[in-house]
Structure 1
Amino acid sequence: MRARIFGLLHNAYAHIFVCMNPMQHIRLHVLKISQAEMAEVTGRDQATVSRWERGALEPSRDDMDKIRAYARSKRVRWNDRLFFEIPSAPAEGRAA
């Protein structure tokens, strides 16, 4: 995960805003599995999944096919846009 830190009053505190990669979003929020489980799904090792999430490496089309097939086998709602963008969270105070 990449973090951006912004100082507040008198630099006493800092807020950390986390920038989530689409692959990390898929794993954590869509499939709800660990890096080890994602590695098993794709036939890669956990280090490769970590590289995807850090943005150091992109998954291949074959990897994406395996992730898509896994999601569908688990009856997870799927859209291929998830590979390229993270859905925005609903604004606070609004009904979802």
Structure 2
Amino acid sequence: MPRPKSDFDDLRPLEFREPAEVLDADKLYTIYEVGRLLQGVDPEAELDIETENVLLDWAIPWMMGHSEQFVFAEPETDGEPGYYGLAPGVDADGASEQ
């Protein structure tokens, strides 16, 4: 249910970093690892399912909004997640170096 802004003491702007600020250009990550990195959590951290789901809620739209900056690799086996990484030439400002 919506709540009035006046119910909250701390309102902050919604800011997202560019993919090149979050990911290593030489690595591929699962969506779960991307979600963790986006929130500053170790990509290998063990998380409960509720926390994992919240991180995915942030990661998926962020990746969709920056889809032109990503490449995708198929999972090694069925039932495993695919891998995502920075597209060649993407710099920290989100621009393609050409």
TM-score by length of 1: 0.28
Q: Which has more strand, going by share of residues?
A: 1
Q: Which has the higher helix share?
A: 1
Choose between structure 1 and 2 for higher RCO, CA contacts under 8 A separated by at least 6 residues: 2
| TM, length-normalised to structure 2 | 0.27
